[in-house]
Amino acid sequence: MNPVARRVRVMIVEDSAVVRHLLAHIVSRDGRLELAAAVASAEEALAEIGRVRPDVISMDIRLPGLDGLEATRRIMAEHPTPIVVIADAVEEQGLRISMNALRAGALTVVEKPLGPGREGWEGAAEAICTQLFIMSQVPVIRQRGPVGRAPVPRAGGAAPPGRPAMVGIAASTGGPPALARVLGALPADFPAPVLLVQHMGAPFMEGFAAWLDGLVAPRVLLARDGVRPEPGHVYVAPGNRHLGIVAGGIMQVSDSPPVGGQRPAADVLFGSMARVLGPRGMGILLTGMGEDGARGLAALHTAGGTTLAEDETTAIVYGMPAAAVRLGGVTAALPLDAIGPRLLRAAGGTLEATDGR
């Protein structure tokens, strides 16, 4: 008989006594987890983390004193620990802080739970526990400097013949800061549209697109069904909707069934690009847990498209890129900071900075 696995130790950081007790109840009843501490402020969390030594932290964002963003920065600098942000998905300032906490080293963001008896309560509680358990397994290191908008060159007009007509990018765990780095290498006039799939809770997607739009030069917005994507724009799959393309390069946003448990699914995006674009498509698979995107990327590779995957040396979670490499569907595996410049070169841009004239 196998020995019982050690439970994952969870520290809850939440200023609301009601929500703190609710999260403690959720954690305590899950057989995979153990409540190690529940504190009301970032200052208390920082004081206790060395003694408690949690495996994962549930982090509120709107805290008295130090907010969740600054707490995340401090924890990742002093006591690197996997952090799951628990946020109110409909509050704009909280969304912005949540996205910046992901840049500072938090791994994912989930919606703050409603009380027992509310519609969807059991599913929300299970989702929180599953995220805490999964993220506890992710190795984290002291956070590097913040991701910012890097100076970028102009792309120099339309892509030359043979260059990608469209770019698809997909990510899951660790995706937002990785996407900010890749897209931060592109100019506002990048000569191909970019379609993007990020695994994240549906209520967060509009805020995620707005956050990314404020960080990178290309325009970032939610994708709309039946619209032809334009160069210099990044189109984000809406929450709980697949994103792909159909004949003529028109975007298709649909609520067809999940693929591999995911909606949106990277396999849907890359598979549609393989069918419609073939060698004129370019697919990029970044950090993420699971295998979504591997089969679609392999199909695009077989169809003659260029396919890149994030290298194991930089991926927060190597699951999705590793699966693509195993299937032989990757043209090149690159460290994160090399992907944006490679994408720019593929589209016919230049890596030399301009002097603004």
Between CA 329 and CA 228 the distance in angstroms is 27
Choice among 55, 199, 242, 272 that is catalytic? 199
How many C-beta atoms lie closer than 10 Å to residue 224's C-beta? 11
Say whether both 200 and 338 belong to one domain.
yes
**Cβ contact 219:194 at 8 Å:** no
State whether 258 and 203 are in the same domain: yes
Residue-level pLDDT at 249: 95
Distance in angstroms (rounded) separating the CA atoms of residues 94 and 112: 11
Model pLDDT, residue 236 = 98
> Which positions of the chain have pLDDT values less than 70?
1-4, 89-92, 141-162, 349-357
**Per-residue pLDDT at 116:** 77
To the query of whether residue 60 is one of the catalytic residues in this protein, the response is: no
**Domain match, 109 and 209 both:** no
Same domain as 277, residue 190: yes
Residue with tokens 């900071």: 337
Number of structural domains in the chain:
2
158 domain-assigned:
no
Cα(293)–Cα(267) distance, rounded to whole angstroms?
A: 4
Q: Let me know if residue 279 belongs to a domain.
A: yes
CB 48 within 8 A of CB 39: yes
Question: What CATH number is associated with residue 16?
Answer: 3.40.50.2300
Among the options 30, 55, 267, 292, which is catalytic? 292
Query: CB within 8 A of 146, min separation 6: which ones?
Result: 103, 104
Flag whether 255 is in a domain.
yes
- The confidence score (pLDDT) of residue 160 equals 46
| d(C-alpha 23, C-alpha 27), whole Å | 6
Residues 17, 95: one domain? Answer: yes
Give dist(CA 199, CA 188) in Å, integer. 25
79 is catalytic: no
Question: Does 141 map to a domain?
Answer: no
φ, ψ for residue 186 (rounded to 5)? -100, 145
Residues 199-220 pLDDT 10s: 988 888 988 999 899 899 999 9
pLDDT of residue 137: 85
Give the Cα separation of 186 and 349 in Å (integer).
Answer: 9
Euclidean distance between CA atoms 188 and 216, whole angstroms: 8
Give residues with Cβ within 8 angstroms of 323, minimum separation 6.
290, 291, 293, 294
Residues 196 and 256 in one domain: yes
Residue at 333 is within a domain: yes
Same domain, yes or no, for 88 and 189? no
H or E element that contains 100: helix 92-104
Q: How far apart are alpha carbons 111 and 102 in whole angstroms?
A: 14
Asked if residue 122 and residue 182 are part of one domain, the reply reads no
302: buried, middle or exposed (CB in 10 Å: 19+, 13-18, 0-12)? middle
Tell me, yes or no, whether 232 lies in a domain.
yes
Structural contact between residues 287 and 170, judged by C-beta atoms closer than 8 angstroms: no
Give residue for tokens 């765990």: 173
Per DSSP, 259 falls in state B
Q: So what's the pLDDT on residue 142?
A: 56
Q: How far apart are the first and last CA of the chain?
A: 72
Give backbone dihedrals phi and psi of 347, rounded to 5 degrees, phi first: -85, 0
Which residue of the set 58, 172, 272, 301 is catalytic?
Answer: 172
At 96 the pLDDT is 78
Contact 325, 300 (CB under 8 A): no
Question: 27 lies in which domain range?
Answer: 8-136
Cα–Cα nearest to 137, from 316, 262, 291, 260: 316
- Indicate whether 120 belongs to any domain: yes
How far lies 235's CA from each of 50, 85, 197, 352, in Å? 42, 25, 9, 27
Alpha-carbon span 25 to 93, nearest angstrom: 27
The answer to whether 307 and 330 are in contact (CB under 8 A) is yes
Instruction: Quote the CA–CA distance of 112 and 132 in Å, as a whole number.
Output: 13
Q: Are residues 216 and 110 in the same domain?
A: no
- Residue 100 in domain: yes
Task: Specify the CATH number for the domain of residue 314.
Answer: 3.40.50.180
Which pLDDT belongs to residue 13?
97
